[in-house]
A and B are shown apart, each in its own frame.
Chain A
Amino acid sequence: EIVLTQSPATLSLSPGERATLSCRASQSVSSYLAWYQQKPGQAPRLLIYDASNRATGIPARFSGSGSGTDFTLTISSLEPEDFAVYYCQQRSNWFSITFGQGTRLEIK
């Protein structure tokens, strides 16, 4: 099973700052990596798919990069509504999907 490790576990920043979240895979997942945002009491929301493609309706301040084992989600200038938990997810084969443990983005 491919393990995804997200860092940091918690990121404390202020609105307007730049956020950089990391996701590392235990083996190559090519570009089959997605990012999600989850707020309390809500289902996750797809932000990025195939490592760098924004999902429909996602603001341009969200961007993804990376391939192989190292991936990054960047939020260029934090808005108040961006403070949430973020998960990465891989599906590099047809029989297994895994999520990272999450990064909590909190207001400093």
Chain B
Amino acid sequence: EVQLVESGGGLVQPGGSLRLSCAASGFTVSSNYMSWVRQAPGKGLEWVSVIYSGGSTYYADSVKGRFTISRDNSKNTLYLQMNSLRAEDTAVYYCAREALYSGSPGGFDYWGQGTLVTVSS
């Protein structure tokens, strides 16, 4: 059974750092396209970052230069290192796997339960 379990959220002051983890089971993280998606309280979904099976990474403009996505293949875990946090980064952060159909991406088919990050003094 495929499962994604996020951890690492919490309260952090503006300018601070936090590292989120997403432990996967039932599939191999390094063979898939993995993303972080966030949702501010009462707002819509916002894509944050992706890491491809080949290791390439991309970011939304809102987090570029501050956030870093990575993975640990030995732990089958995805990470999001968040630095220089701002109040507007407050959100529930989800990790999500992108389905692959004949090698082409086809939507996020599995999501974690989400972890809340609150940036406030």
Q: In the complex, which residue of chain A has the Cβ closest to the Cβ of B109?
A: A46
- Count contacts on B: residues with CB < 8 A to the other chain: 24
Number of A-B contacts (CB under 8 A): 64
The digit string for B93-104, where 1 denotes a CB below 8 A from any CB of A, is: 010000101000
Contacts of B106 in A (CB 8 A): 34, 49-50, 53
Q: In the complex, which residue of chain A has the Cβ closest to the Cβ of B105?
A: A91
Out of A36, A38, A99, name the residue touching B46 (CB < 8 Å): A99
Pair A97/B99 contact, Cβ less than 8 Å: no
**Given A34-B106, A94-B58: A44 and B45 interface contact (C-beta under 8 Å):** yes
Of A38, A43, A56, A91, most B-chain CB atoms within 10 Å: A43
**Given A89-B107, A95-B58: A49 and B101 interface contact (C-beta under 8 Å):** yes
Binds A, one of B24-32, B83-91, B110-118: B110-118
| A-B contacts besides A49-B101, A53-B106, 5 pairs, CB < 8 Å | A43-B94, A46-B107, A49-B99, A49-B106, A53-B101
Write the residues of chain B forming the contact surface with A, with a CB cutoff of 8 angstroms.
35, 37, 44-47, 50, 52, 56, 58, 60-61, 94, 99, 101, 105-109, 111-114
Write the residues of chain A forming the contact surface with B, with a CB cutoff of 8 angstroms.
1, 32, 34, 36, 38, 43-46, 48-50, 53, 55-56, 87, 89, 91, 94-102
14 pairs of residues in contact across A and B, judged by CB atoms under 8 Å? A34-B106, A34-B107, A36-B108, A38-B45, A43-B113, A46-B109, A48-B107, A53-B106, A55-B109, A56-B109, A87-B45, A89-B108, A99-B44, A99-B46
User: Lowest 3 A-B CB distances belong to which pairs?
Assistant: A34-B107, A49-B107, A43-B111
